[in-house]
Amino acid sequence: MKIPNRIQPLVDDGLIDDVVRRLKSGKEADVYTVLCGEEIRCAKVYKEATQRSFKQAVQYQEGRKVRNTRNARAMQKGSKFGRKQQEESWQTAEVDALFRLANAGVRVPQPYICLDGVLLMELITDADGVVAPRLSDVILSEEEAVADFETMIRNIVRMLCAGIVHGDLSEFNVLMDADGPVIIDLPQAVDAAANNHAETMFERDVNNMTEYYGQFAPKLLETRYAKEIWALYEDGKLTPESPLTGLFAEDTHKADVDSLLDEIIAAEDEYYDRQRAMKERDLDH
């Protein structure tokens, strides 16, 4: 096929020999299979901000560090240069997250290089060497769903231990290879400790997975891994090997505001009654 303009520089530099075909067009990128020597890899071409349909980018970028202070100031001002830096920050976030997660033992595609808005990485294939299907396209038995869900939860735990929350995890950005689920699409990954929305995003990620696998294994719908895992993380007790039960008891002790107000009013009334009684005694004397 005709080589896309954005991929041409990588061809010129000898990083890619040819483009085989376009795999998909997503909300933030187009993905192609490419030939690199004798290997078939994957090239993810990020769309410009004006073309992306992914919403709430600012919410996802909260807490991301920019090493160059000049770049950080430009990004805050929203200048043309700043917007360019913002785009580069958005694009390199995925490759940074992929390297961190791969090192942490999370099942993600192996990244190779990110250059001029093109991420070159491992192509995930199934047992037959064909491009792996998305989880959303796979039918599972109850036993398979339970096993894959446990694998997914363990990978999510490893991600959180590495300080990362996916932020947009669902059956549409998980691939199924011969060994089970592989997590993809991480440009919106957030810093678990630095992003104020991290807990909400984490719960949504886990609940999305629970609901999907729960279609095949309804008993999974009764689990509460999101709350359990985050509580361990907040307490500094979460490790990749932390035993999990899927159970979590909410703290049902809540302040009874009405009763508290009644007590305050009663105390005030008692105070004024005493003051009034003291004045009356003074007048009698």
DSSP single-letter state for residue 172:
G
Residue 67, pLDDT > 80, answer no
Considering only residues 283 and 70, tell me which one the structure prediction assigns the higher pLDDT.
283
pLDDT-derived band of residue 249, with 50, 70 and 90 as boundaries? confident
pLDDT in tens, 207-232: 999 999 999 999 999 999 999 999 99
Least confident range from 51-55, 161-165, 217-221, 274-278: namely 51-55
H/E run at residue 210:
helix 198-214
| pLDDT one-digit tens code per residue, 33-54 | 999 999 999 999 998 765 544 4
> What phi, psi does 273 have (nearest 5°)?
-65, -40
For residues 97 and 164, give the distance between their C-alpha atoms in angstroms, rounded to a whole number. 8
Q: What is the pTM of this model?
A: 0.77
Residue 162 C-alpha from the chain's centroid: 12
Nearest by Cα to 35 from 8, 58, 17? 17
pLDDT band at 283 (very low <50, low <70, confident <90, very high): low
CA distances from 12 to 17, 33, 119, 186, 233 (A): 9, 17, 16, 27, 46
pLDDT digits (tens, 9 = 90+) for 69-107: 554 454 455 555 555 556 666 677 888 999 999 999 999
Q: In what order do the strands lie in the sheet with 111-115?
A: 18-25, 29-36, 39-46, 118-122, 111-115
Residue 257 confidence (pLDDT): 64
State the average pLDDT over residues 250-259: 61
- pLDDT at position 142 over 60: yes
Taking the CA atoms of 266, 268, 271 and 275 in sequence, report the sign of the dihedral they define: negative
> Which residues, 6 or more positions from 81, have their beta carbon under 8 angstroms from its beta carbon?
74
Query: Up-side HSE of residue 220: CA atoms within 13 Å toward CB?
Result: 24
| 275 band by pLDDT with thresholds 50, 70 and 90 | confident
- Please state the rounded mean pLDDT for residues 132-148: 97
- What's the longest Cα–Cα distance across the chain? 109
Flag whether pLDDT at 56 surpasses 50. no
Report the pLDDT value the prediction gives residue 233, as an integer from 0 to 100: 98
Average pLDDT, the chain: 85
Phi-psi label, residue 185: left if phi above 0, alpha if psi -120 to 50, beta otherwise? left
Mean pLDDT of 183-207: 94
Neighbours of 192 (CB within 10 A): 20
Q: At what angle do helices 198-214 and 225-234 cross, to 10 degrees?
A: 150
pLDDT at 280: 64
Q: What is the predicted pLDDT for the residue at 75?
A: 44
What six digits make up the tokens of 39?
A: 């290997």
Q: Flag whether pLDDT at 269 surpasses 90.
A: no
